[in-house]
Amino acid sequence: NLTLVWLRRDLRLSDNRALVAAAERGAVVPVFVLDELFEQMGAAPKLRMMLSLQALAQDLEARGLRLILRRGPARGALEELVAATGANAVYWSRGYAPDVVARDSEIKTALKDRGLAAQSFTGTLLFEPWTVETQQGAPFRVYSPFWRAVRTRSVAPCLDVPELHGPTQWPASDSLETWHLDREMRRGAAVVSRFVAAGEQAAQRRLAVFLEERIEGYKAERDFLDRAATSELSDALSYGEISPAQMWHAGQRAMQEGAAGAEHFLKEVVWREFAWHLMWFFPTIAEGNWREAWDAFEWIEDADHPHFQAWCQGRTGVALVDAAMRELYVTGKMHNRARMLTASYLTKHLNIHWKLGLKWFEDCLVDWDPASNAMGWQWVAGSGPDAAPYFRIFNPDTQAEKFDADGRYRKQWLSHAPEMGSDTAALFFAAMPLSWQAQFEQPQREAIVSLATGRQRALAAYEAFKA
């Protein structure tokens, strides 16, 4: 028997049910197909995926296997590989985004019609969405009852890396370098790559550091912008270098050992799960307002609007917002609290549609995850199923006093004057495209929209909308 293991957002060897099931049958050919769904991702997610594929190829090579790369429609690529290798089965870890579901079900039918065993496995979520429902048999729309419904559920134990062997003859493969997945990084891939540690082993090391040094204080410290208090595993999770089950079991063990922050960590892992369940049941959540009434709200939808450009470029004149937007641009990541308050400033103070913000994050985030991004944006904007009420408007100054009291975070990203000696702030200027530079010649001394004016305008617009 020979099985193609079609790897997608499960770029790991441990706790990979599709890989284990394939290894139990016989020889394994690991395959990654750069199809249209991956091609259309933003620049930073593509770069991050490239780094992840490099690491996976090395891990496979160390075990005497190869990662076979193909570009083009997934169905054609898999069918060709079936013919080239004589494989009689194709296995993969299930995906849940609507375009992925549509592609996979078409491929499953086509492969089965050819007499192949085509099977998908749980691997990117803890619980299958259709197994978690309210007592009335409906999907959960609010996080807290969702958490209560899953907190004591059992999650299957994690699996070790199986004994693997490949075919006697390997099929041809593209070379990753020729795909140029880093080409679209306007900010220079080298800058963002510095902040990324890709691959399964790096993810396991981050988890170990988190359990050793951070989980105890996680609940108390996680909101502080200038502290390394969280797991920093979201990008690894996004490409499946680590499985959510590995994080879940690690969190459960820590809880049993009495780590104070463990339950809170599990709750955050379940936020991601909740986002994916929402996307499964409400597949258009990334495309439009979940609450349709919000379609009538008059947000600005012009991506060329100078206020939107200023927000993207971290020059709104609101220090905390600008620091966070520059952090995003340079590192491909942003602290969760900073995501909430930059999203709030965009949608409330600047009255710009959350969809524009979502798209910018989609291009910049190395941990881009369609479900968490959509849920996060609709939560802040007030249009989502589980949403902060619109009138909850973050005040970046108050947030700065609470979570960046001595200004370290803002200084790290804004103080580019050499005498202030901050490398990271300088990186932003080194990385930005030429077309932005003229905008920075005059320092932005005042906020483009002041916190008081923006808040009043937002509340007045909301009152009028409700009326």
Annotated binding site: 218, 230-234, 265, 367-369
Residue 336 interacts with ligand FAD (CB under 6 A): yes or no: yes
Token pair 């898999």 in the structure block, residue: 78
Q: Does residue number 206 form part of the binding site for ligand FAD (CB under 6 A)?
A: no
If binding is defined by CB under 6 A, does position 231 make contact with ligand FAD? yes
Least Cα distance to 250 among 205, 199, 196 occurs for: 205
Alpha-carbon distance 450 to 431, whole Å? 28
Rounded distance, CA 449 to CA 48, Å? 34
State which of residues 3, 120, 193, 234 lies at the interface with ligand FAD (CB under 6 A).
Answer: 234
Closest to ligand FAD by CB, 23 vs 279, is 279
The candidate with the shortest Cα–Cα distance to 339, out of 194, 215, 461, 234, is 234
Binding to ligand FAD (CB under 6 A): which residues in 153-192?
none
SS3 383: coil
Under the criterion CB under 6 A, does residue 339 sit at the interface with ligand FAD?
yes
DSSP string, 137-164: S----SHHHHHHHHTT---PPPPPPPP-
Q: How far is the CB of 41 from ligand FAD (least distance, A)?
A: 11
Residues 280-319 that bind ligand FAD (CB under 6 A): none
> What whole-number distance in Å separates Cα of residue 246 and Cα of residue 205?
13
Is residue 340 a contact point for ligand FAD (CB under 6 A)?
yes
Pick from 127, 224, 361, 436: which binds ligand FAD (CB under 6 A)?
A: 361
Which residue, among 223, 211, 219, has the nearest Cα to 256 in the 3D structure? 211
**One character per residue 5-44, x = contact with ligand FAD (rule: CB under 6 A):** ----------------------------------------
What is the rounded CA–CA span in Å between residue 62 and residue 139?
43
Candidate residues 196, 365, 400, 425; the one interacting with ligand FAD per rule CB under 6 A:
365
Residue 142 to residue 433: CA distance in whole angstroms: 41
Binding positions for FAD: 218, 230-234, 265, 367-369
**C-alpha closest to that of 193 among 49, 32, 12, 314:** 49
SS3 content of the chain, % helix, strand, coil (to 5): 55, 5, 40
Q: For residues 213 and 423, what is the distance between their CA atoms, to the nearest angstrom? A: 26
Examine residue 348 and tell whether it contacts ligand FAD (CB under 6 A): no
Distance of CA 286 to the CA centre of its chain: 13
**Which range in 88-96, 123-131, 291-299, 365-373 contacts ligand FAD by CB under 6 A?**
365-373
Chosen residue from 118, 269, 319, 350 binding ligand FAD by CB under 6 A: 269
Radius of gyration, CA atoms only, the chain = 23
Q: Does 349 bind ligand FAD (CB under 6 A)?
A: no
| 237: nearest Cα among 209, 261, 204, 264 | 204
Q: How far is the CB of 401 from ligand FAD (least distance, A)?
A: 20
Decide: 338 and 225 in contact? Cβ < 8 Å. Answer: yes
Name the segment binding ligand FAD (CB under 6 A); options: 59-67, 82-90, 103-111, 375-383: 375-383
Answer yes or no: are the C-beta atoms of 53 and 154 closer than 8 Å.
no
* Residue (22 or 126) nearer to ligand FAD, CB: 126
Task: Choose the stretch contacting ligand FAD; rule: CB under 6 A; options: 26-34, 62-70, 271-279, 426-434.
Answer: 271-279
For ligand FAD, which residue of 9, 12, 48, 222 counts as binding (CB under 6 A)?
222
Scanning 60-68, 166-174, 335-343, 426-434 for contacts with ligand FAD by CB under 6 A, the matching segment is 335-343
74 binds ligand FAD (CB under 6 A): no
Q: For ligand FAD, how many residues bind (rule: CB under 6 A)?
A: 27
399 in contact with ligand FAD (CB under 6 A): no
Residue type at position 285: I
- Please say which residue, 121 or 379, places its beta carbon nearer to ligand FAD: 379
**Site residues (vs ligand FAD, CB under 6 A):** 222, 230-234, 237-238, 268-269, 271-272, 275, 336, 339-340, 343, 361, 365, 367-369, 372-373, 376-377, 380
